[in-house]
């Protein structure tokens, strides 16, 4: 759907969890400042056509991938964005603990138990379903 308002209007969203940052800290394609600019553009696009949609930005947990820029710098950029834009943040980097093979299928991707833990943390923090 991208960072333009077109396309977001058709989705009729009430709540959106946006998980970004894993590839950024591993590959270094986006600096923390560029990452924050991307969050800002995405927020603007979504709110342009869905002003009442709740936005929760998720800082991913630490993976076992090669680190180019510490994920904590992306966490801090996400926090600053959320405070400025009035969004929520789910911080899996600090709330999850370190990398564990019990929750990942490989060094980067969650398995079923990891996905369940992710959803459980989001539910406990925001949804309480």
pLDDT digits (tens, 9 = 90+) for 13-56: 889 999 887 777 777 778 899 999 999 999 998 998 888 899 99
Sheet holding 15-19, edge to edge: 15-19, 54-59, 88-91
More confident residue, 13 or 89: 89
**% residues pLDDT > 90 (the chain):** 50
With a CB cutoff of 8 Å and minimum separation 6, the contacts of 7 are: 1
Contact 96, 116 (CB under 8 A): no
Contact 27, 69 (CB under 8 A): no
**Model confidence, pTM:** 0.89
| Residue 129: per-residue pLDDT | 82
Closest Cα to residue 6, out of 61, 50, 54?
50
Average pLDDT over residues 53-81: 91
Kindly indicate the confidence band of residue 2, based on its pLDDT and cuts at 50, 70 and 90.
low
């Amino acid at each position: 759907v991208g960072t333009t308002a077109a396309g977001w209007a058709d989705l009729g969203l009430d709540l959106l969890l946006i998980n970004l940052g894993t590839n950024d800290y591993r590959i270094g394609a986006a600096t923390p400042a560029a990452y924050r600019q991307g969050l800002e553009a995405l927020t603007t696009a979504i709110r342009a056509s869905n002003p009442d949609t709740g936005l929760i930005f998720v800082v991913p947990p630490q993976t076992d991938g090669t680190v180019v820029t510490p994920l904590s710098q992306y966490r801090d950029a996400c926090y600053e964005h959320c405070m400025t834009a009035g969004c929520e943040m789910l911080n899996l980097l600090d709330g999850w603990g370190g990398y564990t093979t019990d929750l990942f299928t490989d060094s980067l991707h969650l398995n079923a138990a990891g996905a369940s833990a992710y959803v459980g943390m989001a539910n406990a923090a925001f949804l309480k379903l």
